[in-house]
Structure 1
């Protein structure tokens, strides 16, 4: 039986991750056939560089696929089956501020964790909601596969503010770590493993990993992580073919210390920001952060290669490669389009998957995915340590969304001080005030509570 050909819009067509998605889609046309690909972005010039190269790649490798790049929402979102969304409101210039403003006060600056992640979340909410509204207006039967960061805050915003929308929030970080686990074990693919995992986005733990025959793989991975973190054997030997940036190598090595907090599980690497925030500050250069590293490395490389392809009018020797998250997106789209019942880690409303946890929290757990969307698997009860950490972080995410919706300065201040990365309320307020100034163009106006209302005299009884 022939598979129905799909129509896709990549929202964030100017992203440096877009070429990797295109390459992955082309590699999987036998499993996920495509009739049309569209790019949508509000930055014409940035998108054009990616689109010009993509047009040449498609003409050479899949000329049957119709290609459109546009800044017009109606043109982009009409007649599509999937929205693959990875927008970055404010681009890397604002990410740089997210990272450097907290560092002024001795607090870690990071794009999804702590004050930086909160600032990015306040920018992202409106942009993602806008995409949902376009999709529902022009292609109401389509699904949005959203991997716009910070995924945890965006997921809570879509749950609360667009509760009936056909959107699935995903993250590629667990996928990337599972690739490393597979290499540690000597397996061909992370798909050779079946995992149990629970947590929040960038805030979770693997509790069980088995091969297809049911053999327990956890002890071997744990032994390696205890000694080396998630640095792979080939990297330890200096023979890895991957070009991994220095900041990521540090992160993979740091997992060794993160693991010590609960050696019965295996941690997501992002937990380092919450368990060892002072180490991250000490390791950071306030003049040259991860945003600068990305702009000097990934951004330059991708745009340079796309421009080269456009200039020579051929992609025969293109140096563009697929990304970890791109393969995950194709698997997810296939599961929905063809009801494959793929098992995947997704960010979904809890609703009892974690029995002793807030049912309205957006948790990251294994799900079975078919044409009706994700069906979360039950992970049972979780230990007090993880539960306490997660409850605090969920409160942060919910307060951010409430602050955005209500325009509340007070709730955003509360969200920042609740983050384990921030030492006290005074520092939280200083950071917040600086972030407000930096984000005037992007955030809703925030108003402080009316003190005359909250300080009324008590009633006489």
Structure 2
């Protein structure tokens, strides 16, 4: 990339995460010369968008940066001539997420934003919108990179890869969080660690961990099994069985608790929903508090309370990627990208999450070859579900949707799969135009 001044288009600019993104831009101006940021949102997010613009302007003014900030509801204007389009939106807002969490638990099934039926519902709402955005990118910014942070990131990235010509990389803060937590356990700097990561989004394993060249995988597994902090703000920290971790011989991501400790996680979800509300309902309260803070005209930096929102290291994940592409760093990042032989048993066009070399040409996954049977079965089952879910979201096909939920390992039988699907379609009717003929 040779542009001396970059334009970023932020789709979902009214998100409470945006100040962290702005902070990340300001910290990297010497390496990543951003000259323009265009925040865009939908009508329902107009008030939040205005608040974000005002706070962002105070942050930019504080450091004397020469960045033109715009906020509008005009997505095409935001995308036109952008170098990077960053997507971080939520179709239906937090109320839709709360529905995603509550519907499955009525049937004794995990209700979670990105995993299981909740993630499926989110994919159905999100994929048609992201594909529509891609049409604008193809027309108005064909050389732009789309960096997708919108969940479920793996499914969204696979849809973009399969159905559009847009250059895209999916990213997530979970791999960065894993590295930070392992660094804390090992009492070292994150830069001293190397992790060999491969799996799927929110189903990622670190198959090996090295500290200054020494294999520390077994030590990390011992520490996790012994109760070391290894979770995130939005995931209940159910203790890991040390014998199971020994058998697994790979470091699971925090989301694996939903698959490996389903009963305990479901019990915790049900109790939380009955007492303090689902995670989405709790976040609604957090968001109100954050936006009240953001309106303070004396505030000119990202407030510490944003850490409670659950998106720690978001700007590091996304802006380090911008840096790697713009400056052709050829550096290592854990991203969502087409497999292309990296995991031997998956198709080339399947989107995986893995360690990749990132430069101006994009992301090339590092090959891990054949994975252990300890992880292979679960990964293949979830990938089968993902493939069906992407097709269902694209086509609006009821039978494919039914099969996707039936294939998901968190849905125990087809009668519940069908009941949950029918309720998802009813509840999300206004956001699922692809199913309109049913």
TM-score by length of 1: 0.87
Q: Any idea what the Cα deviations from partners look like across 1:32-67, whole Å, max 9, x if unmatched?
A: 221111101113222112112112221222341111
The aligned runs of 1:301-450 (5 Å cut-off) are 301-309=289-297, 312=298, 315=300, 319=304, 323-446=312-435
Question: Do the aligned residues in 2 keep the contact of 1:26 with 1:62 (CA within 8 Å)?
Answer: no
1:240 maps to: none
| Separation in 2, partners of 1:317, 1:353 | 38
Q: Which moved more, 1:345-354 or 1:285-294?
A: 285-294
Q: Any idea what the Cα deviations from partners look like across 1:434-460, whole Å, max 9, x if unmatched?
A: 1111100111343899xxxxxxxxxxx
2:197 maps to: 197
Question: Do the aligned residues in 1 keep the contact of 2:205 with 2:251 (CA within 8 Å)?
Answer: yes
| Separation in 1, partners of 2:9, 2:396 | 32
The offset of 1:347, in angstroms, is 1.0
The offset of 1:383, in angstroms, is 1.7
| Separation in 1, partners of 2:79, 2:211 | 41
Between structure 1 and structure 2, the one with the greater Rg is 1
Question: Do the aligned residues in 1 keep the contact of 2:218 with 2:249 (CA within 8 Å)?
Answer: no
1:11 maps to: 11
Question: Do the aligned residues in 2 keep the contact of 1:135 with 1:142 (CA within 8 Å)?
Answer: yes
The aligned runs of 1:3-82 (5 Å cut-off) are 4-42=4-42, 43-82=45-84
Q: Structure 2: any 5+ residue segments left out of the alignment?
A: none
1:185 maps to: 186
The aligned runs of 1:66-105 (5 Å cut-off) are 66-105=68-107
Q: Any idea what the Cα deviations from partners look like across 1:232-272, whole Å, max 9, x if unmatched?
A: 9xxxxxxxxxxx75x54x33x43457953744111011111
The aligned runs of 1:193-232 (5 Å cut-off) are 193-212=193-212, 214-231=213-230
The offset of 1:320, in angstroms, is 6.9
Question: Do the aligned residues in 1 keep the contact of 2:142 with 2:166 (CA within 8 Å)?
Answer: no
| Separation in 2, partners of 1:325, 1:68 | 21
User: What is the aligned residue count?
Assistant: 427
The offset of 1:5, in angstroms, is 2.8
| Separation in 2, partners of 1:412, 1:383 | 30
Report the CA distance shift for 1:447/1:328 in structure 2 as closer, same or farther (over 3 A).
closer
The offset of 1:286, in angstroms, is 3.1
The offset of 1:181, in angstroms, is 0.4
* Structure 1 runs, 4 residues or longer, greater than 6 Å off: none
3-state SS of 1:339 partner? coil
